[in-house]
Amino acid sequence: MTVQVISSYKLDNDELTELREKLSLKEGDTMTNVVDRSVIAGMIINLDGRVIDLSFKTQLKNLQKLVL
């Protein structure tokens, strides 16, 4: 399995290890961390074609849709 984690800052080894455990990644699975400051906070996880968007940026966009 290939996982790409997009975050507003570079995740440290402890954070990456915790994330690997929470995603139940196995030994041969690869995970990369891409820094994108526009994410603001949180992260976007691309998991073999599936996207889990936990970013603050998306939450703000969703809130804006509700308000307007």
Mind listing the pLDDT tens digit for each residue in 52-65? 999 988 888 888 88
pTM score of the predicted model: 0.81
Task: Please name the residue ranges forming H helices in the chain.
Answer: 13-22, 56-67
Residue 46: both structure tokens together: 């691309």
pLDDT at 55: 92
pLDDT at 53: 94
Burial class (CB in 10 A: 0-12, 13-18, 19+), 5: buried
Report the run of H or E that residue 53 belongs to, with start and end. Answer: strand 50-53
Q: Which of 10, 5, 6 is nearest to 39 (CA)?
A: 6
Longest dimension (CA), the chain: 46
